[in-house]
Amino acid sequence: MKKVLFLIAIIALFSSCLNTEVKDQVIGPQDLTLESDVMTPEVMWAFGRVSEIQISPDQTKVLFGITWYNWEENKGNRDLYIMNIDGSDRKNITNTNSGEYNARWKSDKVIGFLGFADDESIQLFEMNVDGSEKKQISSVEGGITGFEFAPDASAIAYTKEILNITTQDIYPDLDKADARIIDDLMFRHWDEWVSSTSHLFIAQYDGSHLTNHVDLLDGEPYEVPMKPFGGLEQINWAPDGKSIVYTCRKKSGIEYSLSTNSDLYLYELESGETSNLTEGMMGYDMNPVFSPDGSMLAWESMERDGYESDKQRLFVMDMATGESKYHTKDFDQHVANLRWREDAKAIYFISGWHGTQQLYEISLATDSVKTITSGVHDYDAFEMAGDQFIAQRQSMSMPSEIYAVNTTDGADINISNVNTNLLDQLAMGNVEERWITTTDGKQMLTWVIYPPHFDPNKKYPTLLYCQGGPQGMVGQFWSYRWNFQMMAANGYIVVAPNRRGVPGFGQEWLEQISGDYGGQNMEDYLTAIDTLAAESYVDANSLGAIGASYGGFSVYWLAGHHEGRFKAFIAHDGMFNFESQYLETEELWFANWDLGGPYWDRNNEIAQRSYANSPHLFVDKWDTPILIIHGERDYRIAYTQAIQAFTAAKLVGVPARLLIFPTENHWVLQPQNAILWQREFKGWLDKWLKKS
């Protein structure tokens, strides 16, 4: 389902995967000279992964992080870098093997960041802009998971995990018991059994120490930021430092599992009072951003409770009157990553449209929207620096780099060039935009990715890529598993349709999929692969279908309905049995909205149609080899779904393989597991789709 990276997930990964042992050799960039211009999984894992752009207060420098991996050691390391605003004079200012992240400018001369203390807890550190005079600032018991300086740096807001009551708290004499006592829902979430709750704290800061720590949710069973995907974007200081706004869904247990109704809360430091700014707004309200003078607050809002893929709307509140206005009524797209123009008369944001993510500007006076950038790429994040954006950009053919983008005409230039050396040695396949007519007469954007050195006079095995989400646009993303260029480098044409149910094509196109899982979107998939199979360079007798999450469900469903089109399937973390999925998943609002409700609601036509399309009901029609992959720590779609599918395949005599990752969640994050994933992926497809 939805994939959105967030800071706490990064911390959890780094704690288990980063190189924290003291060694002479620091994991960093590799100066590789490649013997071939065709990408391999090992080469792909040599790319540096850029993240967390921060602009200095004087807007002359860019602070960011790069994560490097050594797959042979099964470890990674994240270092902090700084460069001039034009990309010159880039320097690694940490160069350690312990990992640093969540870096923030305290001033033009001093940087704060999170790192590992001697007791291996995660604490706040500071250092000079050149990396000198590093010192530990916090000593918070259990460590902290994120922080933001107040505008004048006289205080910090930080998040930390508060432990929940354990079995040993209830029965102190049973100190060796390892059972869990559970009385309500949401006892596990995403990839963890919920043993703690994230709270937001404010502490005073004198330049050396933190004092007067205040828990803004003291005694409350609620979390800030919201799991599983929330990060520091859900918290924002007022420019005068006298208040802070945070995002919270103040619900617990079964109510939490059924609702997406989060609100924005204003906390006043002097009085200690908290007020709900968005009471009565029933969907997600999140990611608040103050105007430069603090007089207005912008945020992203969804209208309907329980619908996590509702339109993300732009709202702005007058902080003096409390009145708010919906500014994107006539804009049939999502808004994200809000940033105020310096004069506060406009807001910049990111939005997906037709398979790409671009930068936009909206005038608050007229609500008119201007598209600033164009091109076949995705902008994922940006910050303001005078008359330009400093933005993170990627595509199907390039991992993330940092670009300087003109705010007027969208002209951009790569200023980080972290991966240029490797990219210059690789041949990427051509990415083609196609518009295909669907069975109901609509136009569907389908990306077609060709192998490097493509020869139109040859025939190629071809893969239908089934997108997850389900409400996830097939944009210009660069993945380290579902990497289209990696698939193409293996000698396959990849067909990636933006089928019904994805954003970037209007809300009607997006919403059609809910309650229709086995319907029009499956027709869209078959139309896409049938259209490409008619091309002379496609081997119509060597077609495969692949996908993860909703894409994994799609593969399971196609396995029972493809009518001989495909010769191989790969399903990763897919839903196989809707009835058991409904009671195994954690965020029930998703199942209620997209499936229509519980399977026992016999009078619910939408729900009954959904469950009637569960893939497990069509196993009698399975006749094609299938590789089934799942992570045991995936609690969104439990690994028992994979076990059911594998057992069914073996019982009906279909060639099948089960690949289980005991320590992975909905994704595969550890380097060697990811390399193994790529080798199994390629091996299975080669076995069944390539003629010997």
pLDDT value at position 467?
98
Q: Which of 71, 105, 138 lies at the terminal end of a domain, its last residue?
A: 138
Q: What are phi and psi of 578, to 5 degrees?
A: -60, -35
| Domain range enclosing 585 | 429-689
pLDDT value at position 24?
55
| Model confidence pLDDT, tens digit, residues 185-234 | 999 999 999 999 999 999 999 999 999 999 999 999 999 999 999 999 99
CATH number for the domain including 379?
2.40.128.660
Q: Which of 326, 358, 387 lies at the terminal end of a domain, its last residue?
A: 326
pLDDT value at position 373?
98
Q: How wide is the angle at C-alpha 130 spanned by C-alphas 125 and 135, nearest 5°? A: 25
pLDDT value at position 25?
80
Q: 151 and 264: one domain?
A: yes
Question: Would the pLDDT of 20 be above 80?
Answer: no
| Any domain includes 332 | no
DSSP 123-154: EEEEEETTS-S-EE----TT--SEEEE-TTSS
Task: Name the band, by pLDDT with cuts 50, 70 and 90, for residue 614.
Answer: very high
Spacing of C-alpha 334 from chain mean position: 16
Q: 503 and 612: one domain?
A: yes
Question: Would the pLDDT of 13 be above 70?
Answer: no
Q: How many CA atoms lie within 13 A of 409 on its CB side?
A: 3
| Any domain includes 566 | yes
Q: 102 and 177: one domain?
A: no
| Any domain includes 273 | yes
| Any domain includes 268 | yes
| Model confidence pLDDT, tens digit, residues 278-315 | 999 999 999 999 999 999 999 999 999 999 999 999 99
Q: What are phi and psi of 211, to 5 degrees?
A: -135, 170
pLDDT value at position 11?
45
Residues that are catalytic: 549, 634, 666
| Model confidence pLDDT, tens digit, residues 133-173 | 999 999 999 999 999 999 999 999 999 999 999 999 999 99
Tokens at 220, concatenated: 């409350």
Mean local confidence (pLDDT), 37-44:
98
Beta 274-276 vs 336-340: how paired, if at all?
A: unpaired
Beta 460-466 vs 493-497: how paired, if at all?
A: parallel
Tokens at 532, concatenated: 């490409």
Question: Would the pLDDT of 658 be above 90?
Answer: yes
Could you give the number of structural domains in the chain? 4
| Any domain includes 664 | yes
Q: 502 and 643: one domain?
A: yes
| Model confidence pLDDT, tens digit, residues 81-106 | 999 999 999 999 999 988 999 999 99
DSSP 545-581: EEEETHHHHHHHHHHTT-TT--SEEEEES----HHHH
Q: Which of 275, 303, 326 lies at the terminal end of a domain, its last residue?
A: 326
Question: Would the pLDDT of 15 be above 80?
Answer: no
Q: 178 and 133: one domain?
A: no
Spacing of C-alpha 574 from chain mean position: 18
Q: 260 and 200: one domain?
A: yes
pLDDT value at position 2?
39
Q: 393 and 283: one domain?
A: no
d(CA 483, CA 465): 11
d(CA 627, CA 573): 11
Q: What mean pLDDT is reported for the chain?
A: 95
Q: 420 and 442: one domain?
A: no
| Model confidence pLDDT, tens digit, residues 475-502 | 999 999 999 999 999 999 999 999 999 9
Question: Would the pLDDT of 399 be above 80?
Answer: yes
pLDDT value at position 692?
63
Q: 250 and 375: one domain?
A: no
Comparing C-alpha atoms, which of 182, 186, 183 is closest to residue 258? 186
Q: 33 and 149: one domain?
A: no
CATH number for the domain including 466?
3.40.50.1820
Structure letter (DSSP) for residue 427:
P
pTM, 2 dp: 0.96
Contacts of residue 654, defined as CB under 8 A and 6 or more positions apart, other chains included, come to 622, 623, 624, 625, 626
| Any domain includes 383 | yes
Q: 341 and 321: one domain?
A: no
pLDDT value at position 359?
98
Question: Would the pLDDT of 17 be above 80?
Answer: no
Q: 572 and 436: one domain?
A: yes
Question: Would the pLDDT of 8 be above 50?
Answer: no
| Any domain includes 369 | yes
pLDDT value at position 340?
98
pLDDT value at position 691?
81
Burial of 589 (0-12, 13-18, 19+ CB in 10 A): middle
- Out of 11-20, 317-326, 413-422, 435-444, least confident range: 11-20
| Any domain includes 331 | no
| Model confidence pLDDT, tens digit, residues 414-448 | 999 999 999 999 999 999 999 999 999 999 999 99
| Model confidence pLDDT, tens digit, residues 45-91 | 999 999 999 999 999 999 999 999 999 999 999 999 999 999 999 99
Q: How many CA atoms lie within 13 A of 672 on its CB side?
A: 6
